[in-house]
Structure 1
Amino acid sequence: MAEHQTQSGPVQGKNKEDFVPEGDGRGITISGVPNARGIGGFPTLDGRRTKSGLFFRSAGLNFMDEGGVDDLHRLGVKLVVDLRAPWEVSQWPYQLPDDIKVERVSLLSEDSQPGDGSDGTLGEQAQGEELGMQMAPMYRDIAFGSAGKIMGILKELATGDGHPMLIHCTAGKDRTGITAGILMSLLGVQEDMVVSSYAQSAGNLGQAFKEAVLKGLPADAQGADDLEGAQSALLASPPALLQGLLQEIRQRFGSVEGYCLRNGMEPAEVQTLRDLFLE
C-alpha cells in the first residue's frame, strides 16, 4: 500500500479523480435510489483501509421502488437517519418496515424554508466557483450550527446497535456529504479522497432525479428567476466547497478530531469508531 505524506497530498500512484474504492465506497444498490454508496475501501493516512458494510449514504429513500426495502434488508441496515428538514419529510414521505428504525435529525436551521437557498437545492443563478460561494454559508451552518447533531449520529454509530447505518437527505450530497466527510476524515482517510468521494455526487444524480425533486417543490419555490439556479445547485458538488469547509474546521479546532471532541464526542468513542471501521 502506498505511503501518505500529508493529509491533502495525493495517494502515490493513483489519480484521485479515477480512484475506485475496493469496497462499498464504489456504490451499492437500493432500487430506485440514486447516489447510494458506503465508505468502504478508502485508504487512510496510516496505511489502512475503511471497512465496508457499516455505514451507507444515499439520496432520499422516498425514491425507492418495489425492490428498495429488500435491498435495505440485504445490506443489513438497522438504522436510517433522515437528515431532511420537516417540510422535506412532509413533501417526500416514505415508510419502512418495523425492523428498520428511522430517526429524523434535521441538520438545517429551524427557520429554513423551501426556496431560501439553505436546503442546498434552491438559490440564485450561479455556476462553478460562484455556485460554491453561494452554498458555502449553508455548509458552515450545517457543520457548525448542527455540530452537536452530527456528533450524535457518530456517537450512535459507535454503539453496538448503531450499525449498519444509512444516512440520507434529499440529494445525498450536502448534509449527507458533510456528515460522511467528517466521519471519513475522523477515520484518517486522506483529504483528497474525502473530497473526491463527495464530488462524485454530481455525477450520481441524473436528470430523472432533478425533475422529480423540482416537480415536488412547493409552487412558490419555483419562480422563474430561481429555477435555473435551483437546477444548478440541485446537482452540484464542487470539490472546493467541502475542501474549504474541512480547512475551516482545522483552522477553528486544529483538526477534525478536535472538532469532534469539542462538540460532544469522547476520546473513547473516537477510538471505537477507528477500531470498528479500519482494517
Structure 2
Amino acid sequence: MTLVNFRDPAVLADPDGRWIRPGVLHRSAQPFPAADAAIVDQLRDAGIRTVVDLRGVDEVEAADWSAVEADGVEVVAARIQPTGPALDEAARTMTTAADLGTFYLLMAESAPQAVALAVEAAARPGGVLLHCAAGKDRTGLVTALLLDLLGVPAEEIVADYARTTAALPQIFEGLAVRYRSALNDHRAASLTIPAPLLEAPAGAMTAFLDLIHTRHGGPEAFLTHCGVPADTLTTFRTKAAAATAAAGGAAS
C-alpha cells in the first residue's frame, strides 16, 4: 500500500513554478501499517532521500520505515509531542478552526529542537518527505513554515493544507486499525476528540500563519528562534526556491 495523503505541495500550490521547485518537498501520513515494497518504489520514484518523522515517541514502531531505510533512505526523528499541559488545555477548550491554529502554534513553540531538526533535514540534498500520523497537523505546520519561508502566498499554503480533507476517511481508517488498543483503553474515560482536529479547516492554517507573523515576526524569525542557523535557511532556500525566485534573490 502506498502512502496516504502523499503529495508535492509545489505541484498544486505553485504549478507555475514561481516560488518552489517541484520534487524537493513532499508530505504524507505515516505508513499504514508499515513501509513495504510499494512505498519504497513510491519514494524512489519521487527522488526522496530523507524522511522526517514528526511523530511522538509513543506513536512510533520499529518496523515503520525499516524497508525504506534498507533502501538507503535516511529517517530523521524530529519528535513533536502532541501533548503536554498547555496543549492538553488547548485541546480541551478547542471549538473553532482558529483554536486549532493556536494549537498548531503551541505545538511548534513547544518543540523548537524538533522544528529545527526538521528544517535542517529539509535542507539536505534530494527530495524530503515530512510526515506525522495523519500528515495534517504537525506535517501541516512544518510544511507551512517552509513554504512561507520561500514566499509562497498564504492563500496557497492554506489551500495545500486543506487538500488533506479528501484523504481524511482513509487516514482515519488506518489510524483506527493502528491505535485500536489505545482507543479502546479510553472507552471508560469517554475520550472526546475536538471537532476541528477531525478536519482540515482552512481557518486553522490561516490562523497559524497569522500568529507566526504577529507573534514571531514571520517564519525566518521563528525558525531562527528555534535554533535553525542562518546558513541552513540559506541552504534550504537555494535548494528549494523556484529558479525564477532564486535568480531574483541573487539579482537583488
Shorter-chain TM-score category? Answer: 0.7 to 0.9
Find the partner of 1:89 among 37, 54, 60: 60
1:73 aligns to what?
44
Residue type at the aligned position of 1:140: L
Counterparts of 1:231-242 in structure 2 under 5 Å? 232-233=195-196, 235-242=198-205
For each residue in 1:80-112, what CA deviation from the matched residue of structure 2 results, as whole angstroms up to 9, or x when unmatched? Answer: 111111211139844224211112221116758
State, as a whole percentage, how many aligned pairs show the same letter: 24
What is the SS of the residue equivalent to 2:75? strand
Q: Which runs of 5+ in 1 are unaligned?
A: 1-30
- Pair 224,209 (structure 1): closer, same or farther in 2 beyond 3 Å: farther
Find the partner of 1:51 among 21, 25, 29: 21
67-76 or 91-100: which moved more? 91-100
Counterparts of 1:193-232 in structure 2 under 5 Å? 193-206=156-169, 208-217=170-179, 218=182, 219-222=184-187, 225-226=190-191, 229=193, 232=195
Q: Contact 2:55–2:78 (CA<8 Å) still a contact in 1?
A: yes
Rounded to whole Å, the distance in 2 between the matches of 1:48 and 1:269 is: 22
Please tell me whether residue 104 in structure 1 is matched to residue 77 in structure 2: yes
Measure how far apart 1:199 and its partner are.
1.1
Q: Contact 1:83–1:106 (CA<8 Å) still a contact in 2?
A: yes
For each residue in 1:233-263, what CA deviation from the matched residue of structure 2 results, as whole angstroms up to 9, or x when unmatched? Answer: 5541111112111111111222222212232
Rounded to whole Å, the distance in 2 between the matches of 1:146 and 1:174 is: 14
Q: Contact 1:125–1:226 (CA<8 Å) still a contact in 2?
A: no
Rounded to whole Å, the distance in 2 between the matches of 1:86 and 1:226 is: 21
- Pair 109,233 (structure 1): closer, same or farther in 2 beyond 3 Å: closer
1:245 aligns to what?
208
Rounded to whole Å, the distance in 1 between the matches of 2:122 and 2:234 is: 12
2:235 aligns to what?
272
Aligned residues: 233
85-94 or 57-66: which moved more? 85-94
1:6 aligns to what?
none
Structure number with higher relative contact order (C-alpha < 8 Å, ≥ 6 residues apart): 2
- Pair 137,258 (structure 1): closer, same or farther in 2 beyond 3 Å: closer
What is the SS of the residue equivalent to 1:67? helix
Rounded to whole Å, the distance in 1 between the matches of 2:187 and 2:37 is: 30
Measure how far apart 1:148 and its partner are.
3.0
Counterparts of 1:64-213 in structure 2 under 5 Å? 64=35, 66-90=37-61, 93-96=64-67, 97-98=69-70, 99-108=72-81, 130-132=95-97, 135-160=100-125, 163-206=126-169, 208-213=170-175
Q: Contact 2:98–2:207 (CA<8 Å) still a contact in 1?
A: no
TM-score, normalization by structure 2:
0.79
Q: Contact 2:113–2:227 (CA<8 Å) still a contact in 1?
A: yes
CA RMSD across the alignment:
3.1
For each residue in 1:130-155, what CA deviation from the matched residue of structure 2 results, as whole angstroms up to 9, or x when unmatched? Answer: 24355345312221111332122212
